C-alpha cells in the first residue's frame, strides 16, 4: 500500500478523549503528526465524523474529522485553524 500522507507520523501511545456534544469517549492515540492521528477505540459506533480530540497529559486539543475507519481504528485529519 502506497503512503498517501504528506508528512510522516510519530508513533505514540497516549491516552486521549474524543469529545462531542457533551459526550466523551476514551481512545488511545497510536500515531500523531501536525496534520492528523491514528486512534484506537473500543468501538467506532456513535462517533460523529467531526469531533474534538483531547490528549490531557499534553494539554492538546484539536478539532478533527474522520478520514477512514477500519475495525477499531480511526484515521483523523486535523481541521485547519481559522484564526
**Tens place of pLDDT per residue across the chain (83 aa):** 454 545 677 999 999 999 999 999 999 999 999 999 999 999 999 999 999 999 999 999 999 999 999 999 999 999 987 54
pLDDT at 7: 64
Give the C-alpha separation, 22 to 32, whole Å. Answer: 25
pTM for this prediction? 0.86
Does any domain span residue 33?
yes
pLDDT at 1: 43
In 3D space, the residue among 2, 5, 71, 4 whose CA is nearest the CA of residue 32 turns out to be 5
Give the C-alpha separation, 47 to 18, whole Å. Answer: 8
Does any domain span residue 47?
yes
Does any domain span residue 61?
yes
Residue numbers of the domain that contains 48: 10-65
Does any domain span residue 19?
yes
Domain count, the chain: 1
| Cβ atoms within 10 Å, residue 27 | 26
pLDDT at 8: 77
Amino acid at each position: 500500500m502506497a503512503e498517501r500522507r504528506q508528512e510522516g507520523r510519530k508513533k505514540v501511545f497516549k491516552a486521549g478523549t474524543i469529545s462531542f456534544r457533551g459526550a466523551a469517549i476514551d481512545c488511545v492515540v497510536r500515531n500523531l503528526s501536525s496534520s492528523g492521528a491514528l486512534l484506537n477505540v473500543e468501538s467506532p459506533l456513535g462517533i460523529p465524523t467531526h469531533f474534538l480530540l483531547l490528549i490531557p497529559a499534553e494539554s492538546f486539543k484539536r478539532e478533527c474529522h474522520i478520514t477512514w475507519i477500519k475495525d477499531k481504528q480511526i484515521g483523523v485529519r486535523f481541521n485547519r485553524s481559522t484564526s
